[in-house]
């Protein structure tokens, strides 16, 4: 009898251990499990799970679904986030900015684009921009973007290798373009220097999981045809993206007509510059023919409504672009022309502006604007296979929005709330590539107080320089 009991105990132990091994099998173990929130996937079907989950292993999402699917999967998590009372959605994509210009925030307001650039921005940059300045401004911008749920951004500036280093260190995803232009700037005094610098930059970051190095010719009116051809050739040779400004203001259209007898977008098409490599920012002054060209060439577009409004540059034909199926994202532009790096404000503005301009309250609905800030931005950057939605296999770029604030109460339609009511300060958690960069509003990869102290010091320097 004792022998029989012993055998039963042994068998029970074997069964228990076997079950434990199954529970702990690699297929069931995840690094991070987000549960209990309203999961807004932004996938092709625009699925929403009211009591959903996101499972992350390493740098990628391995599963998204509802509570029943989570129970069936039997995941065991190294770390768990309770998302009850929150919306879980893809990290936001800022499709156009100049991140070090956070240090020029509010430097010159209430001016037209040309006066703003030529009388204030270009002189301030000439007097102040150094590698150290760029590092400080980048850190400040990264802190602001992480706090606001931006997990990927596209940038155009100088000393872009320093921007890449700081972006990588902070854990943010960046498509970062070294700006080239036909006059001396802070990091390169000649065109030859700029192109050599850019080539080194592109080669250094090739294949990085967070940083995509790009080349950024400033605009068709500041870079010659010969040099634009060189940019295209370098981008093709090194398989790199191109970031540029296009058709931003009436003065640009007038200059291009006088100089090249062409409209900006048609000129770039004529010189064979446009392709799927290109992301064009602003794209305000384009007609239906040019929209068709941009669609055919698969050019990404960054719509920057608040910057366009502040500089009175005009209103982009967003309803027509959406109807045409352009790769349309949202950008903040730099903080010197927009004061902040909040895509939540851009979403709210984009939805309302185009209703006002068109006289149609159904124009550019909330779900389309939210798409522009997520999967649309990913498409504009030609990264839609990697980011922009919560789907198995994609990079684990995820944010959580806390719904507890009075301005988010009550909630009937989560998509409308995200566009019309949510603020950057409502983002509680930010995750990029599976790494938690902000938890419960606390930055984990940046020293925010030290960054702000340094920024205030630069404010004094810039103010002095403008008086000289």
Q: Per the domain annotation, does 136 fall within a domain? A: yes
Give residue-wise pLDDT tens across range 373-402: 999 999 999 999 999 999 999 999 999 999
Residue count (the chain): 468
**What's the pLDDT score for residue 22?**
44
Q: Is residue 433 part of a domain?
A: no
Interatomic CA distance for residues 195 and 203, integer angstroms: 12
65: phi then psi, degrees, rounded to nearest 5: 180, -160
Give the model's pLDDT for residue 25. 58
Domain containing residue 132: CATH number: 3.20.20.140
Residue 265 has pLDDT above 80, yes or no: yes
**Spatial contact of 1 and 48, defined as CB atoms under 8 Å apart:** no
Helix, strand or coil, per DSSP, at residue 310: helix
Residue 314: domain span: 91-384
Which one is predicted more confidently, 243 or 118?
243
Instruction: Name 352's Cβ contacts closer than 8 Å, sequence gap at least 6.
Output: none
- Any domain includes 67: no
Please give the helix or strand (H or E) that residue 254 lies within, else none.
helix 250-260
Residue 440 included in any domain:
no
Is residue 368's pLDDT more than 50?
yes
181 DSSP 8-state letter: -
pLDDT in tens, 204-224: 999 999 999 999 999 999 999
Structural domain count, the chain:
1
Residue 301 placed within a domain:
yes
308-340, pLDDT tens digit by residue?
A: 999 999 999 999 999 999 999 999 999 988 999
Could you tell me if residue 410 is inside a domain?
no
5-24 pLDDT per residue, tens: 444 444 444 333 344 444 45
**What mean pLDDT comes out for the span 269-279?**
98
Which residues neighbour 175 within 8 Å (Cβ) at sequence distance 6 or greater? 152, 153, 154, 155, 212, 214, 241, 243, 279, 381, 383
Tell me, yes or no, whether 424 lies in a domain.
Answer: no
Residues 164-178: tens digit of each pLDDT: 999 999 999 999 999
Neighbouring CB atoms inside 10 A of 314's CB total 16
Residue 203 CB neighbour total at 10 angstroms? 11
- Tens-place pLDDT, residues 85-138: 999 999 999 999 999 999 999 888 888 878 888 888 888 899 999 999 999 999
Locate the DSSP E strands across 100-233: 150-157, 173-180, 211-217
In a domain? residue 436:
no
């Amino acid at each position: 009898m004792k022998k029989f009991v012993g055998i039963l105990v042994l068998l029970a132990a074997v069964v228990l251990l076997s079950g434990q091994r199954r529970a702990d099998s690699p297929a069931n173990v995840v690094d991070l499990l987000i549960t209990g929130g309203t999961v807004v996937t932004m996938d092709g079907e625009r699925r929403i799970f009211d009591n959903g989950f996101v499972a992350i292993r390493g740098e990628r999402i391995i599963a998204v679904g509802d509570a029943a699917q989570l129970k069936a999967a039997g995941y065991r998590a190294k770390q768990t986030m309770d998302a009850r009372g929150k919306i879980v959605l893809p990290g936001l994509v800022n499709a156009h900015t100049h991140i070090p210009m956070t240090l020029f925030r509010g430097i010159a307001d209430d001016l037209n684009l040309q006066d703003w650039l030529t009388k204030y921005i270009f002189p301030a940059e000439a007097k102040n921009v150094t590698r150290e300045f760029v590092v400080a401004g980048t850190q400040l911008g990264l802190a602001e973007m992480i706090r606001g749920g931006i997990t990927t951004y596209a940038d155009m500036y100088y000393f872009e290798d320093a921007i890449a280093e700081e972006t990588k260190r902070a854990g943010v995803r960046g498509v970062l373009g070294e700006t080239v232009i036909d006059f001396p700037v802070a990091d390169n005094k000649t065109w030859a220097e700029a192109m050599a610098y850019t080539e080194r930059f592109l080669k250094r970051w090739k294949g990085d999981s967070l940083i995509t190095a790009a080349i950024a010719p400033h605009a068709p009116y500041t870079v010659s045809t010969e040099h634009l051809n060189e940019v295209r050739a370098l981008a093709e040779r090194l398989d790199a993206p191109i970031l540029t400004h296009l058709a931003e203001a009436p003065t640009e259209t007038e200059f291009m007509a006088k100089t090249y007898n062409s409209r900006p977008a048609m000129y770039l098409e004529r010189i064979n510059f446009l392709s799927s490599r290109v992301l064009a920012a602003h794209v305000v002054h384009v007609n239906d023919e040019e929209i068709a060209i941009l669609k055919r060439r698969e050019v990404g577009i960054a719509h920057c409504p608040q910057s366009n409004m502040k500089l009175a540059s005009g209103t982009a034909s967003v309803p027509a672009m959406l109807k045409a199926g352009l790769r349309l994202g949202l950008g903040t532009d730099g903080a010197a022309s927009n004061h902040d790096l909040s895509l939540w404000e851009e979403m709210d503005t984009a939805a309302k502006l185009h209703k006002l301009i068109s006289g149609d309250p159904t124009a550019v609905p909330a779900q389309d604007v939210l798409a522009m800030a997520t999967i649309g931005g990913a498409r504009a950057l030609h990264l839609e296979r990697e980011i922009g939605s919560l789907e198995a296999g994609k990079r684990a770029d995820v944010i959580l929005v806390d719904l507890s604030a009075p301005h988010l109460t009550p909630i009937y339609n989560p998509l409308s709330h995200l566009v019309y009511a949510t603020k950057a300060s409502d983002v509680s958690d930010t995750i990029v590539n599976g790494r938690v960069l902000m938890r419960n509003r606390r930055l984990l990869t940046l020293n925010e107080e030290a960054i702000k102290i340094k920024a205030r010091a630069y404010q004094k320097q810039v103010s002095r320089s403008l008086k000289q």
